[in-house]
Structure 1
């Protein structure tokens, strides 16, 4: 028997499925802004289209947690993989006006997928390996973004929408075939402590008095907003400024995330204690990274790629650190629902990065938009320092 379940054969298969499911996203994230600009869409309209994905994902996360608990991860995964295949095929058939709807539907499938996979991993692994399992799941989801942006730019330049359509068909089919026979459990662990003792609304009402959830969610919300703005507008920013290459930037950023999550997966705290200096340090890393991106228009591509490294490192460790901590301190009976809300908050941050930052770029500049994101992250680090120092496991 393996001494480390998180890297055993069944879990590696789960990571492969995760990689396939998320392979379409980095291509879509490049092609949609490029097609939108080519057809005369504004930054605000592009941001709304891109934000629809995270908006619906956010709204469905809490419900997804209850559904996964009721029907089991395996059943939920099989249904959504079929839906995901249909959605990806429709990207090539519909005009740009329909992309808001397709992105919204894709967000729903992602909500259920991530809850099914993460709750299956959390409930199956020993407590000391939770952070490793979550980190490897996140790593698998990020791997496509290492080569996806470069591949998307190549596909767009080489074959336009026809090449894009072929890529979506292949990715959707592969994910459906391989994922249908996933090693996920048919049911989550069920015992008296894990059975919900109240309605979903009653469970959600607990959040307002839970300091741990509020501090973690605030940090994740602002970090995701900054990161979402970077990913959504970096292509247009580099085209306008003439500095750097968006595909290379995203590849470096994703490569740092992947390497950091793999190399440091055993360093992410997995004992239920709050590590304020670590969280503050990661938020400051993102602050400096995004500010360097804002300054790169004046000081050159070197700052841009340094930004990619810092942003990648900060996001690589922030989410698994906060997520693992919450799996210990949230009430067991409502954990699935509340973790769903936390992931929804992360999604909402990306929505803000898409929808709220687009108008700033339209009326002022991309550089100012990124400086606003950096200022918000600095404020978040201050809030964690002031109010997040007494969050050790209850």
Structure 2
């Protein structure tokens, strides 16, 4: 291996890009189609949130199963499940969309855990943050053109949607079935199976483990904001003069991609808690949310400023926290507990859809994003840590 940019890793990043390309389109199509069917914001939020809510529940088991049985067979099976889900979108209604989102959630839990665990186990410590950042980067690249593609599909008719989903399902399957994850150095079998940690015990670590608790709370709240943006920007943009949801989501995704590539070497990869760095990232998230909230009265400038800052926040928060946990969690239970942490990110995005939908129904989108900014401000304080390093391994 020659680092995070070597060919075996690039092949995995390509698979990530293809896998998440459908979601970049669905994140726009589902709210628009739901509104056309007469669904409320609450219903749309539940459908959107079902995807990552399901993923959240399956993450810990995914880490456990992949650790015991290896990623290849699991990957091939979940790509089939994902393909069926994409096809289901093309001929069903609201109920079918909900089932498809749940199926996608199950497959994504195993897909992302297999690849992220492989990256963490294969790379030397100094390159871990780069590997996680590049994984996240390639998962966001589809978001640059996906919203524009989705709006084009919406304007031309859902017949085009059928062919696009079928094409993505087939191409992802072809690349996925030819991928060889065993080219990435796996965790030694004796170490991986020497001690199986109970899932129930690992769940309790969310509260008992101070490192996992702090990172999980930060990720949960940040993801609530991210989820609210993903779900309701296509609808909120209609209230902003000259606002365009496709442009917003494209700008946000482009900033994520550029930031994760250019800043990947600056993301801490030393096992230390960098208080100033994390508080700064949460400040960016807070300002981004408030800018979006002001857009309905302040104009489109605030709208797109929010997109740029939101992209920076997304680029920094997740890889920083994931890399930090990869150092401080013990190897014997690291995979399962990383799964729990990522599950908190999934839960946050789901809550951003499911909880903020009723808030928007009861007040307005502007008020809802204002509440998101308050949540971000609270996390600025929560990110403060007087000690510069957490000493010792977690329990």
Same fold (TM over 0.5): yes
Q: Is the 8 A contact 2:219 2:344 kept in 1?
A: yes
Q: Is the 8 A contact 1:219 1:381 kept in 2?
A: no
Match of 1:279 in 2: 278
Match of 2:84 in 1: 86
> What SS does structure 2 have at the residue aligned with 1:5?
coil
Q: Find out whether 1:76 has 2:74 as its counterpart.
A: yes
Match of 1:178 in 2: 175
Q: Is the 8 A contact 2:56 2:343 kept in 1?
A: yes
Q: Is the 8 A contact 2:272 2:388 kept in 1?
A: no
1:386 and 1:332 mapped to 2: Cα distance?
24
Q: Is the 8 A contact 1:243 1:296 kept in 2?
A: no
> What SS does structure 1 have at the residue aligned with 2:265?
coil
**Matching residue within 3, 8, 11 for 1:10:** 8
Q: Is the 8 A contact 1:274 1:392 kept in 2?
A: no
Q: Is the 8 A contact 2:206 2:216 kept in 1?
A: no
Query: How far apart are residue 95 of structure 1 and its match?
Result: 1.6
**Matching residue within 141, 144, 163 for 1:143:** 141
Q: 1:272 to 1:191 in 2, by over 3 A?
A: farther
Q: Is the 8 A contact 2:241 2:300 kept in 1?
A: no
Q: 1:376 to 1:387 in 2, by over 3 A?
A: farther
Q: What stretches of structure 1 of length at least 5 have no aligned partner?
A: none
Query: How far apart are residue 208 of structure 1 and its match?
Result: 2.2
1:215-243 Cα deviation digits (max 9, x unpaired): 11111000000011011100100113344
2:307 and 2:139 mapped to 1: Cα distance?
18
Q: Is the 8 A contact 1:328 1:393 kept in 2?
A: no
Query: How far apart are residue 74 of structure 1 and its match?
Result: 1.6
Match of 1:125 in 2: 123
1:386 and 1:139 mapped to 2: Cα distance?
28
Match of 1:161 in 2: 158
Q: Is the 8 A contact 1:47 1:232 kept in 2?
A: yes
Q: Is the 8 A contact 1:6 1:125 kept in 2?
A: yes
2:208 and 2:147 mapped to 1: Cα distance?
41
Alpha carbon RMSD of aligned pairs, Å?
Answer: 1.6
2:388 and 2:290 mapped to 1: Cα distance?
26
1:294-347 Cα deviation digits (max 9, x unpaired): 001111111111111111001101100000000110121111100000000000
Query: How far apart are residue 194 of structure 1 and its match?
Result: 3.7
> What SS does structure 1 have at the residue aligned with 2:130?
helix
Q: What stretches of structure 2 of length at least 5 have no aligned partner?
A: none
Match of 1:241 in 2: 240
1:250 and 1:271 mapped to 2: Cα distance?
32
Match of 1:363 in 2: 362
Q: Is the 8 A contact 2:240 2:300 kept in 1?
A: no
2:391 and 2:307 mapped to 1: Cα distance?
32
1:96 and 1:225 mapped to 2: Cα distance?
23
> What SS does structure 1 have at the residue aligned with 2:315?
helix
Match of 1:301 in 2: 300
2:172 and 2:283 mapped to 1: Cα distance?
37
Q: Find out whether 1:232 has 2:231 as its counterpart.
A: yes
Q: Is the 8 A contact 2:290 2:373 kept in 1?
A: yes
2:173 and 2:389 mapped to 1: Cα distance?
45
Q: Is the 8 A contact 2:286 2:376 kept in 1?
A: yes
2:210 and 2:66 mapped to 1: Cα distance?
26
1:33-78 Cα deviation digits (max 9, x unpaired): 1111111000000000000001100010000001111111122111
1:113 and 1:197 mapped to 2: Cα distance?
21
Count of residue pairs the alignment pairs up: 391
Q: Is the 8 A contact 2:145 2:250 kept in 1?
A: yes
Q: 1:276 to 1:178 in 2, by over 3 A?
A: same
Matches within 5 A, 1:203-218: 203-218=202-217
Q: 1:233 to 1:392 in 2, by over 3 A?
A: farther
Match of 1:324 in 2: 323
1:246 and 1:289 mapped to 2: Cα distance?
16
1:197 and 1:221 mapped to 2: Cα distance?
27
Match of 2:44 in 1: 46
